[in-house]
A and B are shown apart, each in its own frame.
Chain A
Amino acid sequence: MSEMIAINIDGRDVSVPKGTTIFDAARMNGIAIPTLCHQQNQTPVGVCRVCVVDVGARVYAASCIRECEPGMKVKTDTPAVVKARTTLVEMLMSDHPTPCARQENSGDCELETMAKAAGVAAPRFARRLSPRGRDDSSLSIAVDHEACILCDRCIRGCDEVKKNNVIGRSGRGYTAHIGFDLDLPMGSSTCVSCGECMVSCPTGALTNKRVVDAALDGEKLDPEWILQLPVFKGVSGTFLELNRSSVVKREIAPGEVICREGEFGSTAFYILEGTVEVYITSPIAHVQQQDTPGGWFSRIRSTLSPRRTHTRAEESGRKYIPIDGPVDLPYDKPLAELTAGDLFGEMTCMSFNPRSATVRAKTRVVVLEMLRNVLDILQKNKTFRADLDRKYRQRALETHIRSVPEFAAMPAEFIAYLRDRVELIRYSPGEVIVRQGDAADAFYLVRMGFVKVSERHPGGDIVLTYLGRGSYFGEMGLLGGGIRTATCTALDHVDVVKIAAEDFGLMLSRFPSIREGLERVARERKEMNRRRVAQTEHVPIGEFLNQGLMEAQSLLLLDLEKCTRCDQCVKACADAHDGVTRLVREGLRFDKYLVATSCRSCRDPLCMVGCPVGSIRRRNSMEIIIEDWCVGCGLCVRNCPYGNLNLHPFATEVADPANPSRMIAGTKKKATGCDLCMEQAEPSCVYACPHAAAHRVEPLTFFGGMLGIEKRSPQGSTAETSK
């Protein structure tokens, strides 16, 4: 039994074990001492000083850290102590936004409650001059540094209670604030969103981000039940309690569709039991008119118009279609199965992208459907993450690597060699993955999300392209001088497979065909980048900028002095694309030219961002093409700032709404856009214009003289778009 000591608190003689703090001694004897920085489950640190008491010494003591001494006489509520405490609260309140988020939401900000009780109305002290700002980078926790009183409760919660060691102090004096890892934004840090900091925080500095309209169909779950699931091991029960409407359990009968391709959604699914089928219902085909003539006339037409329909040269190497799930779908038969333990719909949930595939229950299926705040926590949960990564390495890495045409022939044994050597890394939106000028130390395959590739130039960055799932980057630096030639930034939540430079080098030395393929792609990318940069080194003006013509790489212009409005261009376009025109003879005018509504092959192709199946992409020869596996979600159409992409209906079979297992005749939509008739020497619209009024041009070169800028057309190209 420990030694007992006798002390006097507010005139009462009490006996407490040796080593007890004054704060605990008072509490054990029913005397409440106010505090902000101290919690019973944390080591006391005495930083707020609100718990000061008079122990008869020269200065007041912080009761939470001062141990009792034999014969000590403690006074907790003398007018002088109360006055000192009030002054401290007043000083803390002077920097505290009133009301803070917590006070506004639930009215239980401890500081504001204490200030109100102490009669602190308007602080006499001036606010800090340098605001500390907010951090909204985390999906589940909002950080308001302004409301933080630096009590360190969150730090101790993270370090001592949850042992995550993410939060710490950063800065000094007025710049002091809580920081995550090496002072990163919370969303980019190793924070696992356990919620302990939020629970510990006495003010509105760390608050739960509530999800609007979180009502999901399905069985609402008790947090206790959820915590029993292995995938939720380590997740904060408090957090689940706060977000209990953000995850539901659903039982799905065989044949029932869980989600459909092209639909917008905001949830992800984790399979607890059963098997689901993942497939694309949109036929892999060009969009064409239903009434395309099929007689001898059309046969003559086909013979004389040498357009190879339904296939493109580079498509022959494609074996998989990327989707928002742990597997890719085989190109020739886009169907796969997912079973218990698989997660799908991540991109839809995290980035609100359209669904990339249709998912139907093959057997009786039990799934957890969750919103992004719960998914975010799961993804940051080390156990869950490790499990997902293990499954990815076992099941999906091989098909993912083979989905890159250049790697399609890679032997299975080398993929097995890579399996445990590659790193699986996640990046938050805006995070730089590789930076131009840095040493090239790895090769990256995009596993999920979109990566922006940009090059630094005087006057700003030039966006070279966007890369989605199935694309890769980093080869130019490794194949070249070992220096990164561009900056790659995560546009949304991006997962990459990182192959270290030494493994990449080993691969190249062992497989010369892969080296040749990568070198060819690197050359093409280099040439494309050079052309794009050469085009952008002009500074045009006025209306040219206003109409976004500066952004265009290729414009379809109609000379209005020559055009007789005969619509031969439109007819030719329709004839060249199975009856579906890709241009509308309307748009803004620039000088005597009509800028027709037709794809401009923009330098910054916003249309490519977010495509759930990666079917819209830019070829190295700069045109934007929409591949045949488009699922018709319409995101690219909405993203195009110039209205140059369209959704076009075509006849196919669709599920009967009354009986989903039965297929009936119906229509679906696919996006269409000008592909510059890339299989021809000249776009059909230009070729067919009888009046020499239609031109496909590089705008800066074509209008160079008019704009008073020196014509510096890229080597080998002319004003008319060359291919």
Chain B
Amino acid sequence: MLIDRTHKPWATASAAILLIAVAAYVPYVAGSAPVGGGTLPGLVYGTIGFAFMAFVTLLALRKKFPIWRIGRTTTWMRGHLWLGALSFPLILLHAAFFWGHGLTSVMMWLFAIVYVSGFFGAWLQHAIPRRLMRDVPMETIYDEIGHVREQLLDEADGIVAAACGKLEVQISVPDAAVSSGASALATVMRTGSGDADDGAPLRDFYLKEMRPFVQAPSVSHPLASAMTAAAMFGKLRPLVPAALEQAIVDLENICEEERQLLRQRRMHGVLHAWLIVHVPLSFAMMLLAVVHIVMALRY
């Protein structure tokens, strides 16, 4: 979520809560009475901190039921950010900055990781969407990338076949059409109206260089770099008749779209990968927090 001016009330309230908590902590820690989680002030810090943690965790549940009219999800998300940011300092105040042993220590480490990963995620959500918008103008729906690639491959085959007269390629066969033990690839001959001899260099380039890239794009492929791709197409141009220029431009565009899809996949991964750490550890931490509360109250 982008933290902008609309967050001002939340930021102000959070800062006020933090200030009050710290202000209350100073006389508490400066006094002669023992400090720690078991004391009354410690329990108050712990209760408020846990309540914040619980609310923050409930966001996951809220998102499971997006149409429940229990407050806009944006509001929940803002609460998640700001109350989550407050929860760790409050827990530190609850523990009087003592990391603890055993279960408590594990919980604190988990909390620290979740806390840091949360900040990291917030930063990613600031940075990546803007980069995606700027660097991937041909962005598509993430789950549709595979399908779009199939279409691009088919389009590229068609362009080359039309320009070069004929093109023998292997295409994947749908699962249903493949009998047991048979190959999942079929060789097909696509034909067009172009001259086979004139288009031979283009066909060779396509089959040896470009088609493997379009079929299975990888960042290590030379065509994954826009500069290298421009150089490769630049070398190809003098070898083919001027009449095939449009075909080359179309193929360049397909390579560009492939590069953008590669970029989108990578950035999408980065944008969401941190959740793999953040979400499970959050639940683990909440579980340990409940155990910690039960044990602390019971024993």
Contacts and interface: CB of A to CB of B under 8 A. Distances in A.
Contact of B70 (A304, A564, A568): A304
Closest 10 CB pairs of A and B: A688-B66, A572-B66, A690-B77, A560-B133, A304-B68, A305-B67, A692-B74, A690-B73, A691-B1, A562-B2
Given A564-B129, A690-B74, A691-B77, A306 B69 contact: yes
A565 B268 contact: yes
B67 A687 contact: yes
A302 to B, nearest CB: 10
B63 A561 contact: no
Contacts of A561: 2, 129-130, 133
B137 A304 contact: no
B66 A691 contact: no
23 contacts: A301-B65, A304-B68, A304-B69, A305-B65, A306-B69, A561-B129, A561-B133, A562-B1, A562-B2, A564-B1, A564-B125, A564-B271, A565-B142, A576-B67, A586-B140, A688-B66, A689-B74, A690-B1, A690-B74, A691-B1, A691-B77, A692-B1, A692-B74
A575 B268 contact: no
Nearest to B267: A565
Given A691-B77, A692-B1, A562 B65 contact: no
A690 B68 contact: no
B76 interface: yes
A586 B142 CA distance: 10
Given A589-B137, A690-B77, A562 B129 contact: yes
Contacts of A585: 141
A307 interface: yes
Interface of B: 1-2, 6, 59, 63, 65-70, 72-74, 76-77, 125, 128-130, 132-133, 137, 140-142, 144, 268, 271-272
Nearest to B144: A586
B65 A304 contact: yes
A585 B1 CA distance: 18
A680 interface: yes
Nearest to B275: A566
User: Chain A, interface size: which category?
Assistant: 20 to 34
Contacts of A586: 140-141, 144
Interface in A675-722: 680, 682, 684, 687-692
Interface in A432-467: none
Contacts of A576: 67
B9 to A, nearest CB: 14
A569 to B, nearest CB: 8
A566 B275 CA distance: 12
B69 A692 contact: no
Given A575-B66, A690-B1, 8 more contacts: A305-B65, A561-B130, A562-B2, A565-B268, A572-B66, A576-B67, A688-B67, A691-B74
A18 interface: no
B69 to A, nearest CB: 6
A592 interface: yes
Nearest to A307: B67
Given A564-B271, A690-B1, A305 B69 contact: yes
Most buried by A among B6, B66, B144, B268: B66
Contacts of B125: 564, 691
A563 interface: yes
A584 interface: yes
Interface in A553-592: 560-566, 568, 571-572, 575-576, 584-586, 589, 592
Contacts of B130: 560-561
A592 B133 contact: yes
A684 B66 contact: yes
B62 to A, nearest CB: 8
A576 B2 CA distance: 26
Most buried by B among A305, A306, A307, A584: A305
Nearest to B65: A301
Interface in A639-684: 680, 682, 684
A560 B133 CA distance: 6
A693 B164 CA distance: 47
A454 B137 CA distance: 39
Contacts of B1: 562, 564, 690-692
A684 B69 CA distance: 9
Contacts of B140: 586
Contacts of B6: 692
A566 B128 CA distance: 13
Interface in A265-302: 301
Given A565-B142, A690-B74, A575 B67 contact: yes
Contacts of B137: 589
A560 B128 CA distance: 10
Nearest to A692: B74
Contacts of B77: 690-691
Given A561-B129, A592-B133, A691-B125, A305 B2 contact: no
A304 to B, nearest CB: 4
A596 to B, nearest CB: 11
Contacts of B132: 560, 565
A561 B2 CA distance: 8
A400 to B, nearest CB: 39
A691 B122 CA distance: 11
A575 B64 CA distance: 10
A560 B129 contact: yes
A565 B271 CA distance: 9
A568 B133 contact: no
B74 A571 contact: no
A139 B91 CA distance: 83
A305 B68 contact: yes
